[in-house]
Amino acid sequence: MSKLILIDGNSIIYRAFFAMPPLTNTKGLHTNAVYGFTNMLLRLIEDHKPTHMMVAFDAGKITFRHEGYQEYKGGREKTPPELSEQFPLLKELLQGFGISQFELSGYEADDIIGTVSRIAEGAGHEILVVTGDKDMLQLASNHVQVGLTRKGVTEIETYAPEQIQERYGLEPLQIIDLKGLMGDASDNIPGIPGVGEKTALKLLHQFGSVEEVLANTSELKGKMKEKIETHADDAVLSKKLATIFREVPLDKSFDEMAFDGLKEDTAGPALAKLEFKSLLERLSFKADGTASDDPKQEKAPAKEIKVEVMDADHIGELIEALGTIEALHVETNGENPHHADVIGVVFSSSEQHYYVPYELLKAEEAEPLRKWLADQDIPKRGYDLHRTDLALHWKGIAFAGASFDVQLAAYLLDPTDSNQSVHALAGKYGLQSLTADEDVFGKGAKYKVPEDEVLSKHLAAKSAAILNLIPLQERELEGNEMASLFHDLEMPLSRILADMEKQGISANKDDLTELGKEFEAQINELVKEIYEIAGTEFNLNSPKQLGEILFVNLGLPVIKKTKTGYSTDAEVLEKLAPYHDIVRLILQYRTIAKLQSTYVEGLLKEISPKTGKVHTFYRQTIAATGRLSSQYPNLQNIPIRLEEGRKIRKVFVPSEPDWYILAADYSQIELRVLAHISDDTGLKEAFLHDMDIHTKTAMDVFGVTAEEVDSNMRRSAKAVNFGIVYGISDYGLSQNLNITRKEAARFIDQYFDAFSGVRRYMDDIVKDAKRDGYVTTLLERRRYLPEINASNFNLRSFAERTAMNTPIQGTAADIIKLAMVHMDATLAEQKLKSRMLLQVHDELVFEVPEDELELMKKLVPETMEKALALSVPLKAEVSYGMNWYEAK
């Protein structure tokens, strides 16, 4: 049967451009968009085995749509030159691949596709349209599927009329009406102001079309009715603009679009010219683009995945084969791994997969499997083994020996890639595509574990993908010089974190409840007073209602606006405080209400009835800089700055009688890291003499002696130091210090004059980032900055600040992670009873028996300070007490 793939060339190349990090070949030409496009093409060819293909392009700037509407696509950013130069490259590549392409002056790519699909459909062909543009869903029919790119470009989501009905409750043609009502800012199609997707769908479900909506406005009321009536013409025009024209005069025959696999003799050289080495390798071409005589496995037909569902009678077979197992996958359900359900385990070798349902894993017959899982000398490779460890732990099954975690590797290879699912990774690496978990299990309330037959197949496919990803990631880690970061730091840390989380920290429920009562009394008092002054009762937690009271009823001046109305944040309220007594009360209310809801009520919910402890979950694969994050509950943001909040820390206590809480934190770790990587003489000098860094900064910036630095100067210097670490901008500093931008700019200039090494670092790191497309930390942790060369000022500036900040924040993260690994090893070696419980970015918290207190007071800061040798000393300060509050 014939299968025709029609690709919206402009839409896909745009998406690819913004989705891919910058990439240039040795001739300095940008190639990232073509690279993304090529990946997508290869994926399409593999997945769909098309017999015919065509890529359509827009031609010229003016189309027939402009005849009725001059402003069509007006106000659009002009195509960045980095992208423009890639169009000819793409067209040449398509030629090399033997894929036909088409454009026609006066028409857009979607009109050409609309026309070809109409004709081909009539001739009885199956068609897949690939685009990033939702408008094209209007083309879907029984024989036309529309594939929309998801995040990135290699993943596409296909829509037949059925899926459109599911997602929108609309027929394909009604997509045009949807656009008519909502408009499209990117094409400058107006629509009806104030009508977004939600409203438009509601209207269409009720009336069916733009025309019917307009004919029945009498059934509507209020603002909505008014808006629709005033903008009726816009809606009609917008609908017209969104309608794909399917009668383009084409003289293209179906045979011209024929595609029978990549033309080896021309595809190879085309790839070689672009210097796409990894693709050449994947497609088994030699580096010069000629066909290889040693075809790689990837080119072999997809391997059948063989899975056996184990039962008590046959489990012996798996037990015998344990020696051959190369990877495993434990499927769990639930966000919080401390309370996750375990569904089952797949044990995989490259030849065979064995699925063991959870019930069987718990059974007596599976004892050898559990022993295998618990044996830390047997290396385990899999995906999210940290979660696996915790989930199994709470089910009474021990897990040890994690040696390669695919999720963790994926995070190191690109910490900003938000989709780390096995499904996405398989797509990214061009492996056999997987069914999405969502399609197997359903999601949210509809989650349901399917029968073993379906389940085992899916999980085995996942496990096979995991197994196949490992060598690819291993090679890439090595290529990026990140193998040591992965094997010697992050993998060991992952086990340490799991241990800390299982251990948990004791929280005194009664004390917390008592504190809650105090807060409650204060809240009641404050609320009463506020209502009295306002003269009315309202929802104090609603910024909208509060704004109404402050700015309308009381007539206070508006300081700042948000997208949706008046801003009432603390910064604004501080400025309003002199005008009206109510403002102070509101600020106090906010403070106490936050403590009550987040820290008293929130924490109470998280104290385990089983252990009397809170067991947070550290996420090792979230923060773009390499930091950890903490969830369920977040123990990295327990109040400390204000005394009222700081009291919360009193409820965190040792879990054994007569033990202590001991905490140690790095002093100025980020500025010390900056001193090291910038090699700035003055900054290094300051730390070598252990000076007060903010005072030293004030001295150099203001040109005064230590004695002459007053508190105001020190405060300014402190703000400048913060700004430097964050990637300074005069605007940001001016906001922070409440001074003008000019004054802030002067401070910054003076700072850079005094610390010229820092200026050089900031300039160099931004230059490096522009050249490489990424920045690194001291331990070679990497962060890509795809927007560093953007033509949009905001995007570019953000990336530049990130380039300055990430090596600093990230190296600090590297250092404390190292300290944790060393600390864990030392505790074990010396057989100490003390336990590491928490990490708060620059602080480690332990519980310590009395007889180890003196030792730990020395050992912890010493280990932290020696974690990594820099050109300036690291300094850690230790304290201890009966609870976390006292350890200050």
Identify which of residues 25 and 736 has a Cβ nearer to DNA in the complex: 736
Identify which of residues 397 and 424 has a Cβ nearer to DNA in the complex: 424
Identify which of residues 359 and 438 has a Cβ nearer to DNA in the complex: 438
- Give how far Cα 830 sits from Cα of 499, 823, 824, 825, 855, Å: 18, 11, 10, 9, 11
Residue of 188, 598, 791, 826 that binds DNA (CB under 7 A): 598
Query: Site residues for DNA, window 152-211 (CB under 7 A)?
Result: 198
CA 624, chain centre distance (Å): 8
Query: What is the SS3 string spanning 261-289?
Result: CCCHHHHHHHHHHHCCHHHHHHCCECCCC
Taking the complex as a whole, how short is the minimal distance between the CB of residue 494 and DNA, in angstroms?
16
Residue of 11, 38, 802, 863 that binds DNA (CB under 7 A): 802
Identify which of residues 263 and 619 has a Cβ nearer to DNA in the complex: 619
Q: Site size for DNA, by CB under 7 A?
A: 75
Is 123 a binding residue for DNA by CB under 7 A? The answer is no
Is 623 a binding residue for DNA by CB under 7 A? The answer is yes
Query: Site residues for DNA, window 231-270 (CB under 7 A)?
Result: none
Question: What's the half-sphere exposure (Cβ side, CA atoms, 13 Å) at 322?
Answer: 17
Taking the complex as a whole, how short is the minimal distance between the CB of residue 551 and DNA, in angstroms?
11
Taking the complex as a whole, how short is the minimal distance between the CB of residue 861 and DNA, in angstroms?
15
Sheet containing 3-8, strands listed edge to edge, beginning at the edge strand earlier in sequence: 100-102, 52-56, 3-8, 126-131, 144-149, 156-159
CB 367: neighbour CB atoms within 10 A?
Answer: 11
Is 629 a binding residue for DNA by CB under 7 A? The answer is yes
Residue of 794, 828, 829, 831 that binds DNA (CB under 7 A): 794
Q: Are 660 and 654 in contact (CB under 8 A)?
A: yes
Is 776 a binding residue for DNA by CB under 7 A? The answer is no
Among the residue ranges 203-211, 291-299, 450-458, 629-637, the one whose residues contact DNA (CB under 7 A): 629-637
Query: Site residues for DNA, window 825-864 (CB under 7 A)?
Result: 840-843
Residue of 346, 485, 728, 844 that binds DNA (CB under 7 A): 728
Query: Site residues for DNA, window 692-721 (CB under 7 A)?
Result: 719-720
Is 793 a binding residue for DNA by CB under 7 A? The answer is yes
Is 131 a binding residue for DNA by CB under 7 A? The answer is no
Please state, in angstroms and rounded to a whole number, the distance separating the CA atoms of residues 704 and 382.
Answer: 59
Taking the complex as a whole, how short is the minimal distance between the CB of residue 54 and DNA, in angstroms?
34
Residue of 18, 102, 107, 632 that binds DNA (CB under 7 A): 632
Phi, psi dihedrals of residue 112, rounded to the nearest 5°? -60, -45
Binding marks (x or -) toward DNA, 561..590, rule CB under 7 A? -xxxx-xxxxx-x----------------x
Taking the complex as a whole, how short is the minimal distance between the CB of residue 539 and DNA, in angstroms?
5
Taking the complex as a whole, how short is the minimal distance between the CB of residue 701 and DNA, in angstroms?
13
Query: Site residues for DNA, window 293-352 (CB under 7 A)?
Result: none
DSSP annotation of 340: P
Is 399 a binding residue for DNA by CB under 7 A? The answer is no
Query: Site residues for DNA, window 809-828 (CB under 7 A)?
Result: 809
In the chain, the amino acid numbered 574 is E
Q: Are 170 and 178 in contact (CB under 8 A)?
A: yes
Is 639 a binding residue for DNA by CB under 7 A? The answer is yes
Identify which of residues 368 and 639 has a Cβ nearer to DNA in the complex: 639
Phi, psi dihedrals of residue 791, rounded to the nearest 5°? -85, -20
Closest alpha carbon to 17 in 64, 68, 65, 81:
81
Identify which of residues 741 and 822 has a Cβ nearer to DNA in the complex: 741
Taking the complex as a whole, how short is the minimal distance between the CB of residue 568 and DNA, in angstroms?
4
Taking the complex as a whole, how short is the minimal distance between the CB of residue 166 and DNA, in angstroms?
15
Q: What is the DSSP string of 212-256?
A: HHHHTGGG--HHHHHHHHHTHHHHHHHHHHHSPP--------GGG
Taking the complex as a whole, how short is the minimal distance between the CB of residue 683 and DNA, in angstroms?
17
Give the H or E element holding residue 57. Answer: none
Residue of 401, 516, 612, 645 that binds DNA (CB under 7 A): 645
Residue of 66, 619, 650, 746 that binds DNA (CB under 7 A): 619
Taking the complex as a whole, how short is the minimal distance between the CB of residue 236 and DNA, in angstroms?
25
Please state, in angstroms and rounded to a whole number, the distance separating the CA atoms of residues 384 and 381.
Answer: 10
Identify which of residues 705 and 711 has a Cβ nearer to DNA in the complex: 711
CB 815: neighbour CB atoms within 10 A?
Answer: 24
Closest alpha carbon to 621 in 769, 446, 416:
416
The token pair at 714 is 């020190």
Taking the complex as a whole, how short is the minimal distance between the CB of residue 238 and DNA, in angstroms?
21
Query: Site residues for DNA, window 78-117 (CB under 7 A)?
Result: none
C-alpha R_g of the chain = 31
- Give how far Cα 494 sits from Cα of 347, 400, 498, 778, 851, Å: 21, 11, 6, 20, 29
Residue of 25, 722, 778, 875 that binds DNA (CB under 7 A): 722
Is 741 a binding residue for DNA by CB under 7 A? The answer is yes
Strands 307-309 and 353-357: parallel
Q: What is the DSSP string of 771-817?
A: HHSEEE-TT--EEE-TTTT-SSHHHHHHHHHHHHHHHHHHHHHHHHH
> Helix or strand or coil: residue 308?
strand
The token pair at 564 is 């949706």
Is 667 a binding residue for DNA by CB under 7 A? The answer is no
Among the residue ranges 230-238, 446-454, 617-625, 701-709, the one whose residues contact DNA (CB under 7 A): 617-625
Question: What's the half-sphere exposure (Cβ side, CA atoms, 13 Å) at 387?
Answer: 24
Identify which of residues 549 and 859 has a Cβ nearer to DNA in the complex: 549
Closest alpha carbon to 697 in 761, 750, 762, 764:
750
Please state, in angstroms and rounded to a whole number, the distance separating the CA atoms of residues 33 and 17.
Answer: 4
Residue of 736, 750, 756, 791 that binds DNA (CB under 7 A): 736
Identify which of residues 395 and 646 has a Cβ nearer to DNA in the complex: 646
Residue of 234, 405, 730, 852 that binds DNA (CB under 7 A): 730
Residue of 81, 287, 731, 749 that binds DNA (CB under 7 A): 731
Among the residue ranges 133-141, 172-180, 240-248, 637-645, the one whose residues contact DNA (CB under 7 A): 637-645
Among the residue ranges 62-70, 271-279, 526-534, 591-599, the one whose residues contact DNA (CB under 7 A): 591-599
- Give how far Cα 353 sits from Cα of 34, 105, 325, 463, 747, Å: 38, 55, 9, 8, 64
Identify which of residues 506 and 568 has a Cβ nearer to DNA in the complex: 568
Query: Site residues for DNA, window 537-556 (CB under 7 A)?
Result: 539, 541-545
CA 388, chain centre distance (Å): 21
Identify which of residues 563 and 689 has a Cβ nearer to DNA in the complex: 563
Please state, in angstroms and rounded to a whole number, the distance separating the CA atoms of residues 642 and 646.
Answer: 6
Q: Are 88 and 81 in contact (CB under 8 A)?
A: no
Residue of 84, 333, 350, 637 that binds DNA (CB under 7 A): 637
Taking the complex as a whole, how short is the minimal distance between the CB of residue 463 and DNA, in angstroms?
27
Identify which of residues 181 and 356 has a Cβ nearer to DNA in the complex: 181
Is 723 a binding residue for DNA by CB under 7 A? The answer is yes
CB 783: neighbour CB atoms within 10 A?
Answer: 22
Is 495 a binding residue for DNA by CB under 7 A? The answer is no
Identify which of residues 253 and 711 has a Cβ nearer to DNA in the complex: 711
Please state, in angstroms and rounded to a whole number, the distance separating the CA atoms of residues 452 and 309.
Answer: 7
